[in-house]
Chain A
């Protein structure tokens, strides 16, 4: 699919320019990001290092005791490859202390708690370093809602939120992300052996094709079926996009005045910048 093949030189130029411009106009020089050992955060680290200089990028690896040790090793490898600052802050003590009160909690609650624990650490370091938090969610997971609201979806700036996973692979290769990180199976690493594609029930390549044609090209359901997508697949993905839309919006405010925030009180975030 031609649309999922990106001009990586152009992407790199736009995304490094984005980080440089949007960070500096706020009056800061630095960024902080969570480095998981996966490809998305690795790519953001490379983009940030190129945009701001490696010395201005702080990566934090935040493993839980059940995290695959390979993840931390890969995070370290990425940090070394692009020369950025690297710290490890384990989240096991905080997360375990909490779930001692709720021992029955299921995997989803535990996963969400971990994602939100990491978010608080990133925003705390944002204050420590006078740095903006970079987001690392790609367009595929944002559209599917495959992320934790106010957890890994929280950030000040997200350079890769308009890139499908297929684009992330291409750009990572072009920018020199270590091949171990590019080639391994994507995983949220919430429990041993977890992989995204197994949990989602389809491959990123399949869903990227569908999302691109459905969202970007606005093909109708009939056109998608004619293009060879199974009706059940189309419907289930459409449902996922619809049901997760709340995660992509600001909290809903009950309107009572003439100027309600975001409804008829409208300003760009870069107001005055």
Chain B
């Protein structure tokens, strides 16, 4: 079905869960007033990004008051949001929640925690171990968190699992000022477009803005149609709430014109991957 999504390109405060929850609620209320169906927030929207030793302080259990509040709000609008999740066995995950009709519809724990260059996630966080698509009011969707999308297999698995909409929550630092546009923005735009094109999926990409210790987050949230075309894109560097009108017809037409996904041979893929796995194990 057709639906309207808001990509909430916010600027969270580092380590300030209460302030960020208030900011998130404010955006949710505005989106509800604007009669949007879904609102997407960035990775770690509830906490900020360069947390380091703050991770255990800002982590929340899924039954915590903050998460319960967001679940409650999802009676009026579907919500995708990034948090630090604390589990019963005291592991901390960089997680994304999809909340709908007053329930947690899906929990994704970031699988690929970058620990290179300016990143240091795996020092502080536990690694997720699954990619699963899930059903929503707007069709079958999937959650990816930032670096997850830089691994082709992630989006591939999710598309094979039936997802037609990929929600990517991001905290991408801006770098590279040599070209016509910001280096990291150009790379991401190529990635979201190519992923959408290869898998005949929509991509809703929500990236944060603001600065943490001199590192800028560049925003540029966008809705990319299954053709790979960027339909709407938010401003770079500034806070924004971008409305995307997602049309079911565009997905149907694209899958008729370019039925690559229909023709994808899962049997061949699995057979070869199993062979590679076997050979690597020898």
B63 at the interface (CB under 8 A from A): no
Segment 4-29 of A: residues with Cβ below 8 Å from B: 5-7, 10-11, 13-14, 17-18, 21-22, 25
Contact with A along B179-210 (1 / 0, CB 8 A): 11110000000000000000000000000001
Whether the Cβ atoms of A22 and B52 lie closer than 8 Å is no
Q: A7-B178, A271-B54 are in contact. Are A18 and B14 (CB under 8 A)?
A: no
Identify which of B50, B177, B178, B180 gathers the most chain A CB atoms within 10 Å of its CB. B177
Contact with A along B129-159 (1 / 0, CB 8 A): 0000000000000000000000000000000
B16 at the interface (CB under 8 A from A): yes
B214 at the interface (CB under 8 A from A): yes
A5 to B236, CA, bound (A): 21
| Chain A residues whose CB sits within 8 angstroms of the CB of B14 once the complex forms | 268, 270-273
Whether the Cβ atoms of A18 and B177 lie closer than 8 Å is no
Identify which of A2, A14, A18, A157 gathers the most chain B CB atoms within 10 Å of its CB. A14
Closest partner residue, chain A, to B50 (CB atom): A268
| Chain A residues whose CB sits within 8 angstroms of the CB of B214 once the complex forms | 18, 22, 157
Count residues on chain A whose CB falls below 8 Å from chain B CBs.
Answer: 24
Whether the Cβ atoms of B54 and A22 lie closer than 8 Å is no
Whether the Cβ atoms of B177 and A10 lie closer than 8 Å is yes
Whether the Cβ atoms of A17 and B177 lie closer than 8 Å is no
A59 to B53, CA, bound (A): 37
A266 at the interface (CB under 8 A from B): yes
B76 at the interface (CB under 8 A from A): no
Segment 213-261 of B: residues with Cβ below 8 Å from A: 213-214, 216, 236-237
Whether the Cβ atoms of B211 and A21 lie closer than 8 Å is yes
B212 at the interface (CB under 8 A from A): yes
| Chain B residues whose CB sits within 8 angstroms of the CB of A266 once the complex forms | 52-53
| Chain B residues whose CB sits within 8 angstroms of the CB of A6 once the complex forms | 177-178
20 A-B pairs in the complex with CB atoms less than 8 angstroms apart: A2-B178, A6-B177, A6-B178, A10-B181, A11-B177, A14-B177, A14-B237, A18-B214, A18-B216, A22-B214, A25-B13, A265-B53, A267-B52, A267-B53, A268-B52, A268-B213, A271-B54, A272-B14, A272-B15, A272-B16
